Structure 1
Amino acid sequence: MAKASAALDFIVLLYIWVYCMQCTVYGSSHYGFWASRKISTVIRAEKELCLLKGKCYLQTVICPPQCPQRKPADPKAKACFVDCGPKCEPTCKNRVPTCNGYGSICYDPRFIGGDGVMFYFHGSKGNSYSLVHDPTFHVNGHLIGTRPVGRPRDYTWIDSLAILIPSHTLTITSIKASTWDDNVDHLSFSFDNNHITLEETHVAEWRSLDGLVRIERTSKSNSAVIYVAGKAEINVKAGPITEQDNRVHNYQIPSDDCFVHLDVQFKFFNLSSDVEGILGKTYRPGYVSPVKRGVSMPIMGGEDRYKTSSLLSIDCVACNGFGSLEKQSTTLTAKESVAEW
């Protein structure tokens, strides 16, 4: 009897050892816990256990052969993104902003809203504006720009973002440069006024101590994705105004400044129905864009409504009168944030 029991114990331990050799836990993803299942000597297909409460809760989703990994060795390869929201399925996509996708802000700044409508916003250089405002989540963007002689308005680009949640602030800033070098990193991150150091490799990662914010590089330099637990996934990429852009659009940028700026794409979670901001309001249920259709440059007005006194301020006219973010009971705790991603 004792020998049979010992044999059974050995078989169980052997099974556990084989399973562990096949499956290496990488840590927690944005929506759940990521693992890797070895399917060949070359490719590892990652899988995710969805721990975000909802339709997909406790379902396991496996990345497809077309993009088996969340952080592929080749930074230009498509990565696996698992939707633990309504779809419960993986998607293959690039880990950089898509300027023609929903929630993108690129160029001088051109927006594509949550309703899929494209528009431009003409702010003023040196000022900051509210991009998204919700009671527990706020995003500002700061504009740099230039105004050639005789032009009635500034050419502008977003050079900095501020993400504000209760008790925390995260800033993403493009670093000024006279000439552009792809091999030099032009992104700077700060969390609660403390500079973040990220190794220059496309798999580098940083997390806040409470687990509410995570930053991952998506290339060796100049691009990253930021996760705010339960609120947003934000892809950013730094880049210059090229000589061709300068010539075609007659920006007349100075020779000692290539106007490094940010291209951004947002994916939001749990926005309220009253969300505000230049981009945020386009995610309201039933929102109808007021911009003129069928023109080359449809303009969204509201510069005065969305202007803030600084990059870290929440005092725009349209910001519902909130001077600071509400610390509501719906705010994720550290334990909940880890369970979600």
Structure 2
Amino acid sequence: MFYFHGSKGRDFALVSDTNLQINAHFIGSRPNGRRRDYTWVQSVSIKFDTHTLIILAKKAAQWDDLVDKLLVKWDGEEVTVPFDGEAEWKTDTGVREVVVERTDDTNAVKVTVGGLVSIHMKAVPVTKEDDKAHNYQLPSNDAFAHFELQFELPNLSDDVEGILGKTYRPGYVSPVKRGIAMPIMGGEDKYETSSLTSPLCKLCRFQIQSESATTTATATDTDIGISQY
């Protein structure tokens, strides 16, 4: 577990491999007297082969658990994830099956891109209790809807990059301080991208793949507290 500050209103590469790019857009706030932003992940893009999948938590002035705030886009077009039946949206690219499956009545999905990644995503607000406890000084007309994320990444290369991706390299040793409650991971300059869907950063490795591209398997999974402090 580690934390990554990033910066509000900016985009960063979480994972960048030759056949997979996962970016995140950060929202946040900087209270008076603080030198760094408080930030949260508001949307995620997944690029693979020739496709892009985006999952976004829509802005909410006031949070209501009964109101779904998720927005899903496939190759630039909004798609609907049903609430009934199998409660999932899926497509088959001919090489990979892509599934967005609801895991709760609202605001929680499991996103799977066959052979590459699964992400459990839950949209949540910053609570009034958290706001008060951490002195976020958030405005009363924005719940700062953001995602809690859990990743499974079964097919990464040994040269994978990204804020999260580099931690999967063989022999990786974390630079964060051990034994503290909130270890901080740096890398803002290395992994910032120009947009949510851009595969370009100083260390990014993604290359547009043909639909028949294959990868090497190294099964693993992780939880990440990626941007709360």
TM normalised by structure 1 equals 0.60
Select 2:169's aligned residue among 279, 284, 299.
284
User: Residues 328 and 209 from structure 1, CA distance in 2 versus in 1: closer, same or farther, beyond 3 angstroms?
Assistant: closer
What are the residue-to-residue correspondences of 1:57-68 with 2, within 5 Å? none
What are the residue-to-residue correspondences of 1:111-260 with 2, within 5 Å? 118-201=1-84, 203-210=86-93, 211-260=96-145
Is 1:305 the equivalent of 2:205? no
Do the aligned residues in 1 keep the contact of 2:25 with 2:42 (CA within 8 Å)?
A: yes
Q: Runs of 4 or more off by more than 2 Å in structure 1?
A: 200-203, 209-212, 324-332
- Mapped to 2, the partners of 1:267 and 1:177 lie a distance apart of 28
Q: Which has the higher contact order (CA 8 A, sep 6+)?
A: 2
Structure 2 residue ranges without an equivalent (≥5): 216-229
Instruction: State the partner residue of 2:156.
Output: 271
Do the aligned residues in 1 keep the contact of 2:50 with 2:211 (CA within 8 Å)?
A: no
- Mapped to 1, the partners of 2:58 and 2:8 lie a distance apart of 16
Q: State the Cα RMSD in Å.
A: 1.6
- Mapped to 2, the partners of 1:166 and 1:330 lie a distance apart of 7
Instruction: State the partner residue of 2:225.
Output: none
Cα drift, residue 328 of structure 1: 7.7
Task: Name the SS of the counterpart of 1:129 in structure 2.
Answer: strand
- Mapped to 2, the partners of 1:157 and 1:195 lie a distance apart of 23
What are the residue-to-residue correspondences of 1:84-123 with 2, within 5 Å? 118-123=1-6
Tell me the number of residue pairs that the alignment of Structure 1 and Structure 2 aligns: 213
User: Residues 274 and 126 from structure 1, CA distance in 2 versus in 1: closer, same or farther, beyond 3 angstroms?
Assistant: same
- Mapped to 2, the partners of 1:202 and 1:237 lie a distance apart of 20
Instruction: State the partner residue of 1:316.
Output: 201
Do the aligned residues in 1 keep the contact of 2:121 with 2:147 (CA within 8 Å)?
A: yes
Select 1:325's aligned residue among 178, 195, 208.
208
Greater shift, 160-169 or 288-297, is seen at: 288-297
Cα drift, residue 329 of structure 1: 4.7
- Mapped to 1, the partners of 2:67 and 2:100 lie a distance apart of 19
TM normalised by structure 2 equals 0.89
Task: Name the SS of the counterpart of 1:122 in structure 2.
Answer: coil
Identity of aligned residues (%): 52
**Larger % of helix: which?**
1
- Mapped to 1, the partners of 2:212 and 2:141 lie a distance apart of 49
- Mapped to 2, the partners of 1:165 and 1:240 lie a distance apart of 29
Do the aligned residues in 1 keep the contact of 2:45 with 2:52 (CA within 8 Å)?
A: yes
Deviations 1:260-311 (A, max 9, x none): 0011111011110111100011111111111111122221111000000000
- Mapped to 2, the partners of 1:292 and 1:252 lie a distance apart of 28
Task: Name the SS of the counterpart of 2:166 in structure 1.
Answer: helix
